[in-house]
Amino acid sequence: MKGSSRSEVKPTAVRQPRYGKEEFAQRCDALCESQVRSLRNNHHQILDLLKTRFVVQSVQFYYFYVR
C-alpha cells in the first residue's frame, strides 16, 4: 500500500531469572530453615519467595473428579 504509515514493531526484551535453578533452591531452603520453620502453624502454606519479604498464605485445596 502506497502512502500508508506503519509503526515499527520493536521486540520486547526477554526477562532472565535473577538466580539459576540450583541457587534459587538453595536460597529457598536457607530461608525456610532460618525464618519460616520457626513460625508456628505454617503447615500446608504457600511461601512467595520472589518478593523482597516473604509472604505466607493459607491455601485451600479443591479436588475435582472427572467422570
Question: pLDDT tens digits for 33-60?
Answer: 776 666 666 555 555 555 555 555 555 5
Q: Using one digit for the tens of pLDDT, what is the confidence trace for 20-39?
A: 888 888 887 887 777 666 66
Question: What is the reported pLDDT for 13?
Answer: 83
3-state SS assignment for residue 37: coil
Residue 67's pLDDT band, with cuts at 50, 70 and 90, is very low
Q: Using one digit for the tens of pLDDT, what is the confidence trace for 7-21?
A: 678 888 888 878 888
Question: What is the reported pLDDT for 61?
Answer: 47
Contact 36, 54 (CB under 8 A): yes
- How far is Cα 10 from Cα 26, in angstroms, rounded to an integer? 37
Helix (H) / strand (E) element for 30: namely helix 21-31
Burial bucket for residue 6 (CB in 10 Å: 0-12, 13-18, 19+): exposed
The residue among 37, 67, 42, 38 whose CA lies nearest residue 56 is 42
